[in-house]
C-alpha cells in the first residue's frame, strides 16, 4: 500500500513508504524515549492554509457560505502558491494543511508532493467526531490518504456551528486514533514542549508561531535558530502572514528560512520508526 512520499535531499531520491507494518503498543515506550533524546533533527514547517482568495468578499463567500467560485481564474490559493514557489527556490520542504474550503486541485497536490512537501487536513468541524470524520473524507478526495492533521482556531473564537473553539489535545489525539491518522500538530504557544507518542499518534503540543501575537517575547527568531539545532521544533505559519503580513513578519520569515533546516512531518514519523 502506497500512502506517503518525500524527497530525500541527501540522496536526491524520491522515497515512497507505507505504514502497513506499524506495531503500535509494544513500541510506545521506545518511541517516547527516542522523542526525549536530543538528536540532531531538522525543524518542521507547518503551513495552515486558511485563505482561499485574497479578495475579502470572495474569501468570505468561499469560507463562510461554502460557495464554490471556480478555481484558478480568480486567484484561488494564490498566497499558498506564492509560498510554495518561494520554498521551491530555497529547496525547503514543508507540510501544508488545508481546510475543507481551501482544498487544492489534484494537480497542485501532485506538484507539492513532487517538490517533497507533505499535505494534510486543517480541521475546522471539530465539535463532534462525525463532523471531523466528514472533514477527513472531504479532504481525502483532493489530498489522497490523510495521515495527519492540524486544528483551525486556537480557542478564542467559535468559527462555525460545528467548530469546537476549545483546544483539548486528548480529544484530538482520540479523533486521530479513530480515523487511523498518524500525527496531530497542536496549537500550543510554548515551543519548548517536546513531541509525544500516544495511542499510535505522534503529537506535538506546541509550535513556534511566525505571528508574534501567539508568541511570548522570549521566543525570538534567535531562540528558534539555536533551539532548532538540537530539537525538532514545529514552526507554524499561514501563507498570508508573509504575502499580506507586516514587514516584521516578512523579515522574520526570511531569517528563519535562511537559517533553519526543515524536513516534512512524515520524515519525522519515519525517523521515529513508526512506519
**Within positions 46 to 65, which residues make up the interface with Zn ion, using CB under 5 A?**
48, 50
**Within positions 90 to 109, which residues make up the interface with Zn ion, using CB under 5 A?**
none
Q: How far is the CB of 200 from Zn ion (least distance, A)?
A: 25
User: Which DSSP letter does residue 26 get?
Assistant: G
> Between residues 62 and 200, which has the closer beta carbon with respect to Zn ion?
62
* Separation of alpha carbons 48 and 242, rounded Å: 12
Please name the residue that has the C-alpha cell 501544508. 96
3-state helix, strand, coil in the chain (%, to 5): 35, 20, 45
Nearest to 47 by CA among 141, 140, 152, 136: 152
CB under 5 A: which stretch of 10-18, 24-32, 51-59, 145-153 binds Zn ion? 145-153
**Within positions 244 to 273, which residues make up the interface with Zn ion, using CB under 5 A?**
none
100: Cβ contacts below 8 Å, ≥ 6 apart: 124, 125, 135, 138, 139
Rg (alpha carbons) of the chain, rounded to whole number: 18
Q: How far is the CB of 153 from Zn ion (least distance, A)?
A: 6
CB under 5 A: which stretch of 71-79, 151-159, 193-201, 224-232 binds Zn ion? 151-159
- What is the contact mask toward Zn ion in residues 165 to 204, using x (rule: CB under 5 A)? ----------------------------------------
**Dihedral-angle region of residue 120 (phi above 0 means left; psi in -120 to 50 means alpha; beta otherwise):** beta
Q: How far is the CB of 118 from Zn ion (least distance, A)?
A: 17
**Dihedral-angle region of residue 66 (phi above 0 means left; psi in -120 to 50 means alpha; beta otherwise):** left
Give Cα separations from 38 to 34, 41, 95, 190 (angstroms).
8, 9, 23, 18
Q: How far is the CB of 43 from Zn ion (least distance, A)?
A: 20
Of 152, 163, 182, 268, the one binding Zn ion (CB under 5 A) is 152
CB under 5 A: which stretch of 56-64, 68-76, 149-157, 248-256 binds Zn ion? 149-157
CB under 5 A: which stretch of 30-38, 42-50, 183-191, 213-221 binds Zn ion? 42-50
Q: Which residues bind Zn ion (CB under 5 A)?
A: 48, 50, 152
Amino acid at each position: 500500500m502506497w500512502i506517503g512520499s518525500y524527497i530525500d535531499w541527501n540522496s536526491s531520491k524520491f522515497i515512497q513508504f507505507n505504514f502497513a507494518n506499524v506495531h503500535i503498543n509494544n513500541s510506545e515506550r521506545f518511541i517516547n524515549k527516542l522523542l526525549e533524546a536530543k538528536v540532531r533533527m531538522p525543524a518542521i514547517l507547518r503551513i495552515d492554509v486558511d485563505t482561499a482568495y485574497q479578495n475579502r468578499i470572495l474569501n468570505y463567500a468561499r469560507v463562510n457560505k461554502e460557495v464554490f467560485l471556480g478555481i484558478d481564474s480568480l486567484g484561488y490559493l494564490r498566497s499558498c502558491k506564492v509560498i510554495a514557489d518561494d520554498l521551491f527556490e530555497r529547496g525547503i520542504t514543508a507540510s501544508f494543511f488545508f481546510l475543507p474550503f481551501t482544498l487544492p486541485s489534484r494537480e497542485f497536490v501532485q506538484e507539492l508532493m513532487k517538490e517533497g512537501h507533505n499535505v494534510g487536513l486543517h480541521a475546522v468541524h471539530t465539535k463532534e467526531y462525525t463532523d471531523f470524520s466528514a472533514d477527513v473524507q472531504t479532504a481525502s478526495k483532493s489530498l489522497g490518504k490523510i495521515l495527519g492533521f492540524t486544528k483551525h482556531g486556537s480557542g478564542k473564537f467559535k468559527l462555525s456551528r460545528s467548530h469546537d473553539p476549545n483546544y483539548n489535545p486528548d480529544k484530538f489525539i482520540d479523533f486521530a486514533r479513530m480515523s487511523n491518522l498518524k500525527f496531530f500538530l497542536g496549537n500550543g504557544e510554548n515551543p519548548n514542549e517536546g513531541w509525544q507518542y500516544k495511542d499510535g499518534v505522534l503529537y506535538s503540543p506546541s509550535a513556534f508561531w511566525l505571528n508574534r501575537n501567539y508568541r511570548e517575547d522570549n521566543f525570538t527568531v534567535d531562540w528558534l535558530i539555536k533551539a532548532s539545532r538540537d530539537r525538532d521544533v514545529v514552526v507554524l505559519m499561514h501563507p498570508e502572514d508573509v504575502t499580506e503580513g507586516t514587514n516584521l513578519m516578512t523579515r522574520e520569515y526570511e531569517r528563519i528560512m535562511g537559517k533553519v533546516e526543515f524536513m516534512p512531518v512524515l520524515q519525522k514519523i519515519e525517523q521515529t520508526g513508526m512506519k
